[in-house]
Amino acid sequence: MNKENNNIKSLASGHHKFQEQNFKQNEKRFKTLVENGQTPKALFIGCSDSRVGPEIITGSNPGDLFIVRNIGNFVAPFKPDEEFHATAAAIEYAVGVLEISDIIICGHSHCGAIHSLFKHIPMNQDVMHTIKWLELGNEAKDYTISVMPKATKDEQIAFTEQVSVLFQLDNIMTYPIVKKRVDEGKLFLHGWFYDITTGVISSYDDENSSFMPLQKD
Alpha helix segments (H runs only) across 43-188: 54-58, 86-92, 112-117, 128-134, 138-147, 153-172, 176-183
Stretches in the chain below the pLDDT threshold 70: 1-3, 217
CA nearest neighbour of 95 among 87, 84, 107, 83? 87
Complete DSSP assignment for 133-145 = HHGGGHHHHHHHH
- Beta pairing, strands 210-213 & 200-205: antiparallel
Dihedral angle, C-alpha 134, 104, 22, 8, nearest 10 °: 0
Amino acid at the residue 20: E
Give SS3 for 200.
strand
- Per-residue confidence (pLDDT) for residue 44, from 0 to 100: 98
CA distance 76 to 27: 37
First-to-last C-alpha distance (Å) of the chain: 49
- The angle subtended at Cα 143 by Cα 137 and Cα 145, nearest 5°, is 105
- The angle subtended at Cα 21 by Cα 20 and Cα 22, nearest 5°, is 120
> What class is the 38-213 domain?
alpha beta
Domain ranges (residues) in the chain: 1-37, 38-213
Contact between 68 and 76 under an 8 Å Cβ cutoff? The reply is: no
Task: For 192, list phi and psi in degrees, rounded to 5.
Answer: -115, 155
- Per-residue confidence (pLDDT) for residue 3, from 0 to 100: 63
For 91, how many CA atoms within 13 A lie in the half-sphere containing its CB? 31
CA distance 183 to 187: 8
**Cβ neighbours, 10 Å, residue 41:** 16
